[in-house]
Amino acid sequence: MASSFSSIHFLLVLLFISFSFSNAQTPTSTTSKNAGIMFALERDPLTLQYMIKINQGTPLAEVKLVVDLGGRLPWLSCHKGYNSSSLRPVSCKSPECSRAEGPVSRCVLCSGTAKTHNDSCRIYIRKPVTRSVAKGELISDLVSVAANPDSWGTPVSSPRRCAFGCATTGSILQDLLPPSTIPKRAGIIFDLERDPSTLQYMIKIKQGTPQSEVKLVVDLGGNLPWLSCHKGHNSSSYHPVSCSSPQCVLANKPTSTLELCNGTANNACSVYIINPVTLSHRKGELISDLVTVASNPDSQDTPVSSPRRCAFGCATTGSILNGLAKTSKGVAGLGRSSALSLVPQLAVAFRFSRIFALDLHDINTDVKSGETGGKIYFGGGPYIHYLFGFDDLKDRDLTYTPLLINPKSKEEYFIDVKSIKVHGITVPINKKLLSINKKTGIGGTKIDTRIPYTSMETSIYKAFTKAYIEWAESFNNANAELNDFLNITRVTPVAPFTTCFNSSTVPLVRMFQNNDPPGVAFIFPKSVWNISLFDMVRVNDGVDCVGFVDGGSKPKTSIVIGARQIGFLEFDISRSRLGFQQPNLREF
């Protein structure tokens, strides 16, 4: 927005205590009731902070101030000057200055005052996001307001003078600037590795001082990244998190700070760490350390600066690693609701949106890097990949469906699957199993990389595999008269699968290019996710199996989409949506 304040950015840290739109000198009995006033609010899509829009100064200009309900003083950043002819410095000897700084003597307030104005009121300005403190001065200026149009009271007279803190350091605004005032940041990428024994995916993170690579098992439902520290945590940049810190409160909600610090050693923040495989709990503490990252090389946006500090749980018991990949040192919690999940931590640290994407096409070699393995993106795309069959590189075209919230599992990622098709035929399913019970959290469909193959409630699985068998029979019948046609032949199943075929008789994908995409399709209310290239699994030479497993008769979640069927997915938490890629059959 163009204005004389274009080079100045602002922060609101309190409701305006300086507003006085009633006539204090007139007796109450003779004063008519004044109408209230209104301001418009705007939500910043990057930080999700709310900003109040205020018309201020001379000439009048609209400024946006971040709302902080716990702040004691409204303040502005004046490090590039303050262009308003109605600005007035507040004297260090004034009552306003005393109220701003509390029980401080006037001689102290007036000693070493700010350089901008003589005898100005020196104050300390505190930012709520980073809790940093900067010196400034107290000023006042005119504010124009609009009366509540629905009020029967007397409209207020405007403008009136209000007091503001005036910060002279530009860095006070870090993490508070709206997107239009800061350069867009490139996303970041980590390599993924799949453990051949457990089939768990691990994120490779460069951490600490000296820098070392640690592998953490990816957990989409985890509320916190954590490490096993039972043999110590050797890093000179490691810091314990205090029990009275905001991070400790976030990690232990809804426990109060008083309870958190009761009986703790050295004011350390105690946390409970959960192993997502064994579901065992262990007590540990919250620490922070430096994390070094790499910017997305395909992005044209500003590269991120690194390293940055992130919080981790620190488990002091070695048994907490039971069930996890042997080379892992802990778990990377990527839950959608926790403020200490790795997703929001990286979004705040590197100033990008709460988006991450999984590329689990680990059966293919990355032509650009020459490496075999998956990747995880934070902060959005582009997601450049090799386009097989066209000898070219291309960004991924994504289709979206809303993410659902399970009230009993708020960290996990649920989607609204309405039905399933196998080769175009709808599978008969009890619809109640596809919906989430709001009281118990049972039912529905979620995504989980810790599950190697999609699992289904028993009745769904039986109907699903039956549909595959019936499709094979109908396909054989339809092509019986063709020369050199081989019937699709079932073979002895290989655990954990129950429906397998002779791979030499399974028709090639290119045979279906003029029909509906073959294989499995998840049907959403407004879109369809085809996983045509990931429904079958080559278990050994000559045997292809339907890559889905029986999840039991009473699972907590009816359908759990596992790593094999994921392929590529984007989890856009800020917009509460899931992005998926349709198979390009021409590539194959």
In a domain, 424, yes or no: yes
Place of tokens 């490779």: 204
| Domain limit, last residue, from 378, 412, 428 | 378
Same domain, 166 and 193: no
Quote the CA–CA distance of 16 and 10 in Å, as a whole number.
14
In three-state secondary structure terms, 462 is helix
For the cut 60, the answer to whether the pLDDT of residue 417 exceeds it is yes
pLDDT of residue 580: 93
- Both 337 and 209 in one domain: the answer is yes
459-517: per-residue pLDDT in tens? 999 999 999 999 889 888 887 776 666 788 999 999 999 999 998 888 865 555 545 55
More confident residue, 288 or 181: 288
Non-local (6+) Cβ contacts of 302 within 8 A are 183, 184, 185, 186
Task: State the catalytic residues.
Answer: 219, 448
254 with 198, same domain?
Answer: yes
- Confidence label for 430 from pLDDT (cuts 50, 70 and 90): very high
**Of the spans 161-170, 189-198, 549-558, which averages the highest pLDDT?**
549-558
Cα separation, 83 vs 46, in Å, equals 28
Confidence of residue 231 (pLDDT cuts 50, 70, 90): confident
Does residue 134 sit within a domain?
Answer: yes
| 334 located within any domain | yes
Task: Judge if 434 and 559 occupy the same domain.
Answer: yes
Q: Which domain, by its residues, includes 312?
A: 188-378
Cα–Cα distances (Å) from 111 to 94, 118, 167, in that order, read: 14, 11, 18
Domain annotation covers residue 383: no
Q: Are 457 and 558 in contact (CB under 8 A)?
A: yes
* 151 and 247 part of one domain: no
51-86 confidence digits (pLDDT tens) = 998 888 888 888 888 998 888 888 888 866 678 888
Q: Are 94 and 132 in the same domain? A: yes
Asked if residue 559 belongs to a domain, the reply is yes
CA distance 242 to 265: 10
- What pLDDT is attached to residue 184? 64
Residues 536, 408 share a domain? yes
Name residue 266's beta-bridge partners.
none
In angstroms, the CA 561 to CA 117 distance is 64
Residues in the chain: 588
Q: Is residue 16 part of a domain?
A: no
Residue 303: Cβ within 10 Å count: 13
Residue 177 lies in a domain: no
Q: Is the pLDDT of residue 105 over 50?
A: no
For the chain, what is the domain count? 3
Indicate which CATH number applies to the domain containing 290.
Answer: 2.40.70.10
* 213: Cβ contacts below 8 Å, ≥ 6 apart: 204, 205, 206, 207
The structure tokens listed for 276 are 């997502």
Rounded to whole angstroms, how far apart are CA atoms 455 and 556? 11
On whether both 235 and 345 belong to a single domain, the answer is yes
| Residue keyed to tokens 């080559």 | 538
**pLDDT for 103:** 46
Read off the pLDDT of residues 347-386 as tens digits, 9 standing for 90 and up.
988 888 899 999 987 444 444 444 446 899 999 888 876 6
Same domain, 124 and 228: no
DSSP state of 372: B
Share of the chain above pLDDT 70, in %: 78
Kindly report the pTM of this predicted structure: 0.68
Q: Are residues 374 and 408 in the same domain?
A: no
| pLDDT, averaged across the chain | 80
Last residue within a domain, chosen from 328, 350, 378: 378
What was the pLDDT predicted at 124? Answer: 77
Verify that 199 and 304 share a domain, yes or no. yes
Of the residues 316, 348, 378, which one is the last residue of a structural domain? 378
Provide the CA 91 distance to its chain's centre, in angstroms.
Answer: 46
Q: Give the pLDDT band (50/70/90) at residue 107.
A: very low
* Inside any domain, residue 93: yes
pLDDT-based confidence at 296, cuts 50/70/90? confident
Which residues make Cβ contacts (< 8 Å) with residue 409, sequence separation at least 6? 221, 441, 446
What distance in Å separates the CA atoms of residue 550 and residue 103, rounded to the nearest whole number? 70
Strand 160-167 and strand 75-77: pairing? parallel
Q: Note whether 413 and 338 are same-domain residues.
A: no
The whole-angstrom separation of Cα 336 and Cα 380 is 15
